[in-house]
């Protein structure tokens, strides 16, 4: 005999083994004891919840030689015969393959003959939803008033496909999804008896992935046992089920919360590289947020959490996120999940969904109406300015003075001279993420300029691009000198740009413009200076900093040349 | 061309580890569901498993020898106990499943073992799938079933729960790219091919295809026209797009290419420059990226994905593209 799958070997043989369906088994057992067995049952419920098994057990229990009993004895010839299929009076019909009127007629014809070996003739009609309409109707009369030695048990996963006239003639039992806890207990029992070594957490993972189907759980366990070396580890379980560890979900949720699209996508890439299933993953993510919501609402209800074990990261994130955001996240994910079912490229949907999630908060925070939001922004802006004035009041005063002084100077010169010192200063502190922040809101900024009736000025930026940024200043490279000059001398325009960028990014940036040809020169020099000096110099430069800074305060940076 | 164990192990290490352990421990399940994207080697692994089972003197107990009579016959597709079921026309019909069940009610011709493979299991009709259920759950002894599908989500949950699902990973793009360049494909288009398909042969074919080269140009042109003057895009559709993308598959590929442009734009905005696939047009796309915003990009990508879905639902291609163009232009109408 070749190897048999766990779910076949461990098919329940008594009502006690049919776990998680006490409401069904209790009723049936009482009916058996009181000998009030109906002539037709309908078992419905999701896959792997024990419908067919319960039907077989019932068939044994009614025919058991020790009847009335509440459990089949599994020892008498009748029970044994039914188990191994040698008794012809228990007939299991695959309704999906025999779904025509012809086959039903065949049943009808044979129903009237008395059973040959046991007390009752039991017809187990599996997958009954596949019967044709004609077949259902042919069954009606027989089902309503069969001879008293006949019991029909219909089993199906899709009760809504069954005509009401059939349902009303049966006692209907709805099987529920089996709870993860019950599945784990059953698997523990099986693993213990078959001598399989396992890690505690691995069964949890499998039970969660099985989604209430015992057969799914046992299939996965089977697979995990095959996959593992000698011990079923959590890692094996994760690989086999294609689900992801909670650490990973935490990581991604954090990236989404912090609107870090790049690391979100990176995490996703890594995940797919490990061969995880995007659809399973999105479901995991939805459940993750669902649990978070639940946890926020009722922290004490730990056992109702489905996917999440409460750990530090989760707690922290749960405290930081507001319920509204979570609602929105779940909504978006749900939509993406719907779309993913119908495509060959679920990966792309997932990517788009992640990006969307990272951009989400805007509409949520926009809720206090657009006008109010604008006012809030203005106030924030003003506050920022005041803070700046407070911290380095004098220097700001001087800078503005300088600006005033510089401006006439510049315009008297022919063409535009870029503020090299300032640019170098920015370059020193420039970082890639800052630049990306600017770049990603660049398009939005242009739009907002257009909507503020500054179309002509916005056109100046058509051929311009941000090339470097530090945390509070950035450099715009203009293709033509004249554009640069026009833009830089228009204070209102600069204010509009930095204003709209502040709205978009939440930070205030100073703007420095530079024409393309000068930019290349400056950058070249900066890079050279950086390379030849190496690290030592940069530390030295830091040490010198106070003096230089003081000098800058006094004279304005444009006028200072720093020599060693 | 049948592949050997070592070749496939390179492609799908975890799948073969799984099968190897199952064979070694003698825990081979009676039903497997092989699931994964196109070109990931599902059918090859299926045949390999068949060879492992039937081989007369396997190496180390599980690697098929490839020289015995059984291995050779399986490679040539005429072993009497290996049955491969493929869609008859567009779908797998109930009668095919019934014939299969009848065939498997008999013992094997040469040994007791029998194997059946159902290719494109997702294309089984509802009737066929339901007929398979009982047979799949409790087959006569020594039967192994292998179901192969690209779209696991369209398979009945009741079938899935009866099988051991094995996921085939897509080839990592990096490996694909290096394989392509090793095969003489221009490095500048290799990343794009790796994004479009997972099948090396298909990618190689595309790389020599004039139609494909032309398609890239037209798609890029469409994007440019969209930026400049959205209404002109309608004209562009008529003049070039429909001339070139005539068939449904071609249109699908065109939409893929269009989607890749938007993905590039997104990656540029995020600073992930190594992910860009339109290498030939990098400078221009970088410029485009400045003029758009992440939010708009995701909206546009959603629109394209939606269009792809509609295409699968047999929408009129012309209306589909026109609608898409109108959707894409929204928001980018400044200047």
User: What are the domain boundaries of chain A?
Assistant: 6-174, 180-241, 246-365, 375-559
Say which CATH architecture domain B5-168 belongs to: 3-Layer(aba) Sandwich (3.40)
- What does the pLDDT average to over A451-475? 76
Instruction: Provide the 8-state DSSP code for A400.
Output: H
**pLDDT for the residue numbered B15:** 86
pLDDT (tens digit, 9 = 90+) per residue, A300-315?
776 666 667 777 888 8
CATH number for the domain formed by residue range(s) A180-241 = 1.10.8.60
Range with the largest mean pLDDT of A26-40, A232-246, B64-78: A26-40
User: Per-residue pLDDT for A335 more than 80?
Assistant: yes
Which of these, A99, A109, A92, lies nearest to A162 by C-alpha position? Answer: A99
Q: How many CA atoms lie within 13 A of B148 on its CB side?
A: 20
Q: Taking CB atoms and an 8 Å limit, are B98 and A97 in contact across chains?
A: yes
Q: Is A84 on the interface with B (CB under 8 A)?
A: no
- B164-168 sheet: strands from edge to edge: B82-85, B114-118, B143-149, B31-36, B164-168
User: Per-residue pLDDT for B292 more than 80?
Assistant: no
| Helix, strand, coil fractions of chain B, as percent rounded to 5 | 60, 10, 30
**pLDDT for the residue numbered B116:** 92
Q: Would you say A308 and A288 are in contact if contact means Cβ atoms under 8 Å apart?
A: yes
Alpha helix positions (H), A158-213: 164-167, 180-194, 200-210
User: Per-residue pLDDT for B118 more than 90?
Assistant: yes
Helices (runs of H) and strands (runs of E) counted in chain A: 26, 10
* A536 — pLDDT class (breaks 50, 70, 90): very low
Q: Would you say A128 and A163 are in contact if contact means Cβ atoms under 8 Å apart?
A: no
What are the extents of the domains in chain B? 5-168, 209-329
* Residue A11 falls in which region: left (phi positive, over 0), alpha (psi -120 to 50) or beta: beta
Q: Taking CB atoms and an 8 Å limit, are B29 and A223 in contact across chains?
A: yes
Beta bridge partners of A123: A91, A152
The reply to whether B5-168 and B209-329 are identical in fold is no
Range with the largest mean pLDDT of A287-296, A418-427, B193-202: A287-296
Contacts of residue B138, defined as CB under 8 A and 6 or more positions apart, other chains included, come to A8
Range with the largest mean pLDDT of A393-407, A505-519, B146-160, B228-242: B146-160
- What does the pLDDT average to over A19-33? 92
* A535 — pLDDT class (breaks 50, 70, 90): very low
Q: Would you say A340 and A278 are in contact if contact means Cβ atoms under 8 Å apart?
A: yes
Which of these, B121, B127, B139, B174, lies nearest to B29 by C-alpha position? Answer: B139
Query: A206 to chain B: which residues are within 8 Å by CB?
Result: none
pLDDT (tens digit, 9 = 90+) per residue, B257-269?
888 888 888 888 7
Find the closest chain B residue to A97 by CA distance: B131
Q: Taking CB atoms and an 8 Å limit, are B161 and A215 in contact across chains?
A: yes
List C-alpha distances in Å: A233 to A200, A238, B94: 8, 9, 41
**pLDDT for the residue numbered A400:** 46
SS3 A439: helix
Token pair 């978070």: residue: A292
Contacts of residue B289, defined as CB under 8 A and 6 or more positions apart, other chains included, come to A439, B264, B265, B268, B269
- What does the pLDDT average to over A34-54? 92
Provide the sign of the torsion angle of the four alpha carbons A14, A19, A23, A26, taken in this order.
Answer: positive
List, as ranges, residues 118-137 from A with C-beta within 8 Å of B.
Answer: 126-127, 129-130
pLDDT (tens digit, 9 = 90+) per residue, B184-201?
888 888 888 888 877 777
Which pairs from A192-198 meet CB under 8 Å and 24+ separation?
A: A194/A6, A196/A225, A196/A232, A197/A230, A197/A231, A197/A232, A198/A231, A198/A232
List C-alpha distances in Å: B18 to A224, A255, A556, B21: 9, 33, 70, 5
Q: Would you say A5 and A219 are in contact if contact means Cβ atoms under 8 Å apart?
A: yes
- Rounded to 10°, the helix A214-227/A200-210 angle is 140
* Residue A19 falls in which region: left (phi positive, over 0), alpha (psi -120 to 50) or beta: beta
Q: Taking CB atoms and an 8 Å limit, are A355 and B294 in contact across chains?
A: yes
**pLDDT for the residue numbered A370:** 67
**pLDDT for the residue numbered A556:** 65
Q: Would you say A276 and A244 are in contact if contact means Cβ atoms under 8 Å apart?
A: yes
Q: Which helix (H) or strand (E) holds B299?
A: helix B294-312
Beta bridge partners of A497: none
Q: Taking CB atoms and an 8 Å limit, are A348 and B334 in contact across chains?
A: no
**pLDDT for the residue numbered A563:** 63
Q: Would you say A430 and A468 are in contact if contact means Cβ atoms under 8 Å apart?
A: yes
User: Per-residue pLDDT for A128 more than 50?
Assistant: yes
Q: Would you say A124 and A52 are in contact if contact means Cβ atoms under 8 Å apart?
A: yes
Q: Taking CB atoms and an 8 Å limit, are B301 and A48 in contact across chains?
A: no
Number of cross-chain residue pairs from A and B with Cβ atoms under 8 Å apart = 184
**Considering chain A, what percentage of its residues have pLDDT values greater than 70?**
85
**Which among B14, B22, B127 has CB closest to A226?**
B22
**pLDDT for the residue numbered A560:** 63
User: Per-residue pLDDT for B227 more than 70?
Assistant: yes
Query: B296 to chain A: which residues are within 8 Å by CB?
Result: 443
List, as ranges, residues 121-140 from B with C-beta within 8 Å of A.
Answer: 126-127, 130-135, 137-138
List, as ranges, residues 8-27 from B with C-beta within 8 Å of A.
Answer: 14, 17-18, 21-22, 25-27
Pick from A97, A261, A338 the residue to mutate for testing the B interface (most B CBs within 10 Å): A97
**pLDDT for the residue numbered A186:** 92
CA distance B335 to A458: 9
**pLDDT for the residue numbered B145:** 92
List, as ranges, residues 275-294 from B with C-beta within 8 Å of A.
Answer: 287, 289-294
b/e code A255-279 from CB counts within 10 Å (16+ = b): bbbeebbbbbbbbbbebbeebbbbb
CATH number for the domain formed by residue range(s) A246-365 = 1.20.272.10
CA distance B203 to B199: 6
User: Per-residue pLDDT for A1 more than 70?
Assistant: no
Provide the sign of the torsion angle of the four alpha carbons B172, A288, B157, A16, taken in this order.
Answer: positive
**pLDDT for the residue numbered A558:** 64
CA distance B292 to B299: 12
User: Per-residue pLDDT for B243 more than 70?
Assistant: yes
User: Per-residue pLDDT for A410 more than 60?
Assistant: no
Contacts of residue A340, defined as CB under 8 A and 6 or more positions apart, other chains included, come to A278, A279, A282, A346, A349, A350, B153
Find the closest chain A residue to B172 by CA distance: A273
Find the closest chain A residue to B37 by CA distance: A344
Q: Would you say B147 and B164 are in contact if contact means Cβ atoms under 8 Å apart?
A: no
**pLDDT for the residue numbered A169:** 93
CA distance A130 to B6: 44
Tell me the shortest Cα–Cα distance from B96 to chain A, in angstroms.
Answer: 12
Q: Is B29 on the interface with A (CB under 8 A)?
A: yes
**pLDDT for the residue numbered A557:** 62
CA distance A540 to A115: 102
**pLDDT for the residue numbered B222:** 87
Instruction: Provide the 8-state DSSP code for A61.
Output: H
Which of these, A148, A160, A77, lies nearest to A115 by C-alpha position? Answer: A148
pLDDT (tens digit, 9 = 90+) per residue, A345-367?
777 788 888 888 887 765 444 45
CATH 3.40.50.300 fits A6-174, yes or no: yes
Tell me the shortest Cα–Cα distance from B187 to chain A, in angstroms.
Answer: 22
List C-alpha distances in Å: B321 to A207, A358, B324: 45, 29, 5
**pLDDT for the residue numbered A252:** 86
Q: What is the CA radius of gyration of chain A?
A: 37
Write down the mean pLDDT value for chain A: 81
List, as ranges, residues 346-375 from A with C-beta within 8 Å of B.
Answer: 348-349, 351-352, 355-356, 359, 362
**pLDDT for the residue numbered A407:** 45
- What does the pLDDT average to over B263-287? 79
Structure tokens at A255: 């990236």
The least confident of A444-448, B140-144, B247-251 is A444-448
CA distance B1 to A172: 54
Pick from A196, A210, A227, A465 the residue to mutate for testing the B interface (most B CBs within 10 Å): A227
CA distance B12 to B181: 21
Q: Taking CB atoms and an 8 Å limit, are B21 and A227 in contact across chains?
A: yes
Structure tokens at B254: 């065109």
Cis peptide before B231 (omega within 30 of 0): no
Write down the mean pLDDT value for chain B: 84
**pLDDT for the residue numbered A134:** 92
Please tell me which residue, B280 or B113, carries the higher pLDDT value.
B113
Q: Which helix (H) or strand (E) holds A475?
A: strand A473-478
The CATH classification of domain A375-559, taken from the options 3.40.190.10, 3.50.50.60, 3.30.300.180, 3.30.420.40: 3.30.300.180
Q: Is A440 on the interface with B (CB under 8 A)?
A: yes
Query: B162 to chain A: which residues are within 8 Å by CB?
Result: 215, 219
Q: How many CA atoms lie within 13 A of A158 on its CB side?
A: 14
CA distance A429 to A102: 84
Pick from A127, A219, A455, A466 the residue to mutate for testing the B interface (most B CBs within 10 Å): A219
User: Per-residue pLDDT for A116 more than 80?
Assistant: yes
Q: Would you say A370 and A377 are in contact if contact means Cβ atoms under 8 Å apart?
A: no
Q: Which helix (H) or strand (E) holds A338?
A: helix A323-340
Provide the sign of the torsion angle of the four alpha carbons B313, B319, B323, B325, taken in this order.
Answer: positive
List C-alpha distances in Å: A375 to A38, A243, A379, A380: 73, 46, 6, 9
Q: Is A242 on the interface with B (CB under 8 A)?
A: yes
Provide the sign of the torsion angle of the four alpha carbons B299, B305, B309, B315, taken in this order.
Answer: positive
| CATH domain B209-329 topology | Zinc Finger, Delta Prime; domain 3 (1.20.272)
Tell me the shortest Cα–Cα distance from A224 to chain B, in angstroms.
Answer: 9
User: Per-residue pLDDT for B148 more than 90?
Assistant: yes
CA distance A367 to A197: 54
* A393 — pLDDT class (breaks 50, 70, 90): low
Q: CB-based burial of residue B267 (10 Å sphere; 0-12 exposed, 13-18 middle, 19+ buried)?
A: buried
pLDDT (tens digit, 9 = 90+) per residue, A426-443?
887 777 777 777 777 777
List C-alpha distances in Å: A70 to A30, A31, A43, A449: 7, 9, 19, 79
**pLDDT for the residue numbered A415:** 62
**Considering chain B, what percentage of its residues have pLDDT values greater than 70?**
98
**pLDDT for the residue numbered A125:** 93
Token pair 């599980």: residue: B62
List C-alpha distances in Å: B264 to A374, A464, B261, B289: 33, 20, 5, 9
ipTM for this prediction: 0.76
SS3 A43: strand
């Amino acid at each position: 005999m070749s190897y048999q799958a766990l779910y076949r070997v461990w098919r329940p043989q008594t009502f006690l083994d049919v776990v998680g369906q006490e409401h069904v088994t209790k009723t049936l057992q009482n009916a058996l004891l009181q000998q009030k067995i109906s002539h037709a049952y309908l078992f419905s419920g999701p896959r792997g919840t024990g419908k067919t098994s319960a039907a077989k057990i019932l068939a044994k229990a009614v025919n058991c030689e020790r009847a009335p009993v509440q459990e089949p004895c599994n020892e008498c010839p009748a029970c044994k015969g039914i188990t191994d299929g040698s008794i012809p009076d228990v007939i299991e019909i695959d309704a999906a393959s025999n779904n025509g009127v012809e086959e039903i007629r065949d049943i009808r014809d044979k129903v009237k003959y008395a059973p040959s070996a046991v007390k009752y003739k039991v017809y187990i009609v599996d997958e009954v939803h596949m019967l044709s309409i004609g077949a259902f109707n042919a069954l009606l009369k027989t089902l309503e008033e069969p001879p008293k030695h006949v019991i029909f048990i219909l089993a199906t996963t899709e009760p809504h496909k069954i005509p009401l006239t059939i349902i009303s003639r049966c006692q209907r039992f709805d099987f529920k999804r089996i709870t993860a806890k019950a599945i784990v207990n059953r698997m523990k029992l099986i693993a213990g008896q078959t001598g399989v070594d396992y890690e505690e957490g691995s069964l949890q993972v499998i039970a969660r992935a099985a989604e209430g189907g015992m057969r799914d759980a046992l299939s996965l366990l089977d697979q995990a046992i095959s996959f593992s070396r000698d011990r079923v580890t959590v890692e094996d379980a994760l690989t086999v089920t294609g689900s992801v560890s909670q650490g990973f979900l935490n990581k991604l949720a954090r990236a989404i919360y912090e609107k870090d699209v790049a690391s979100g996508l990176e995490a996703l890439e890594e995940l797919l590289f490990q061969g995880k299933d995007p659809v399973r993953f999105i479901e995991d993510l939805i459940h993750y947020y669902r649990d978070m919501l639940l946890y926020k609402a009722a922290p004490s209800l730990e056992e109702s959490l489905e996917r999440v074990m409460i750990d530090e990261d989760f707690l922290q994130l749960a405290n930081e996120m507001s319920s509204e955001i979570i609602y929105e996240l779940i909504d978006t994910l749900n939509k993406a999940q719907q779309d993913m079912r119908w495509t060959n490229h679920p990966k792309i949907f997932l990517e788009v969904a992640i990006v969307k999630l990272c951009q989400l908060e805007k509409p949520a925070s926009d809720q206090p109406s657009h006008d109010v939001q604008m006012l809030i922004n203005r106030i924030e802006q003003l506050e920022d300015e005041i803070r700046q004035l407070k911290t380095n009041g004098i220097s700001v005063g001087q800078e503005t003075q300088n600006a005033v002084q510089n401006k006439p100077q510049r315009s008297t010169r022919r063409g535009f001279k870029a503020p090299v010192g300032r640019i170098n200063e920015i370059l020193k502190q420039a970082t890639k993420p800052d630049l990306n922040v600017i770049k990603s809101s660049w398009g939005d900024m242009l739009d907002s300029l257009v909507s503020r009736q500054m179309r002509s000025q916005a056109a100046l930026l058509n051929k311009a691009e941000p090339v470097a940024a530090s945390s509070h200043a950035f450099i715009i490279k203009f293709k033509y000198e004249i554009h640069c000059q026009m833009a830089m001398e228009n204070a209102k325009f600069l204010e509009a740009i930095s204003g709209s960028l502040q709205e978009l990014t939440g930070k205030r940036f100073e703007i420095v413009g530079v024409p393309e040809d000068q930019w290349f020169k400056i950058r070249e020099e900066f890079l050279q200076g950086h390379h030849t000096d190496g690290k030592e110099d940069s530390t030295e430069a830091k040490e010198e900093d106070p003096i230089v800074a003081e000098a800058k305060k006094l004279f304005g940076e444009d006028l200072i040349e720093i020599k060693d | 061309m049948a592949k050997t164990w070592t070749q496939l192990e390179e492609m799908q290490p975890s799948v073969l580890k799984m099968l190897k352990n199952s064979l070694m421990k003698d825990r081979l399940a009676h039903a497997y569901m092989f699931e994964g994207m196109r070109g990931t080697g599902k059918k090859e692994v299926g045949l390999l498993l068949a060879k492992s089972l039937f081989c007369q003197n396997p190496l180390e107990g599980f690697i098929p020898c490839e020289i015995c009579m059984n291995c050779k016959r399986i490679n040539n597709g005429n072993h009497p106990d290996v049955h491969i079921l493929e869609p008859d026309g567009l779908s797998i019909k109930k009668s095919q499943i019934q014939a299969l069940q009848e065939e498997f009610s008999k013992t094997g011709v040469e040994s007791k073992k029998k194997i059946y493979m159902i290719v494109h299991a997702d294309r089984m009709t509802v009737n066929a799938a339901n007929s398979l259920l009982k047979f799949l759950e409790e087959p006569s002894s020594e039967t192994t079933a292998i179901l192969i599908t690209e779209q696991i989500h369209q398979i009945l949950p009741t079938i899935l729960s009866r099988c051991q699902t094995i996921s085939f990973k897509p080839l990592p793009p990096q490996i694909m790219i290096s394989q392509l360049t090793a095969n003489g494909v221009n490095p500048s288009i290799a990343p794009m091919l790796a994004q479009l398909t997972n099948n090396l042969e298909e990618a190689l074919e595309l790389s020599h295809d004039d139609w494909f080269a032309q398609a890239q140009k037209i798609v890029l042109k469409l994007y440019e026209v969209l930026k400049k003057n959205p209404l002109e895009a309608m004209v562009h559709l008529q003049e070039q797009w429909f001339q070139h993308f005539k068939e449904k598959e071609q249109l699908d590929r065109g939409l893929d290419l269009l989607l890749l442009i938007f993905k590039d734009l997104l990656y540029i905005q995020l600073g992930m420059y190594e992910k860009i696939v339109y290498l030939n047009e990098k400078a221009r796309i970088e410029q485009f990226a400045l003029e758009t915003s992440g939010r708009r990009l995701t909206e546009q990508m959603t629109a394209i994905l939606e269009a792809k879905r509609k295409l699968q639902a047999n929408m009129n291609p012309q209306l589909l593209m026109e609608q898409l163009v109108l959707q894409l232009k929204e928001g980018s109408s400044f200047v």
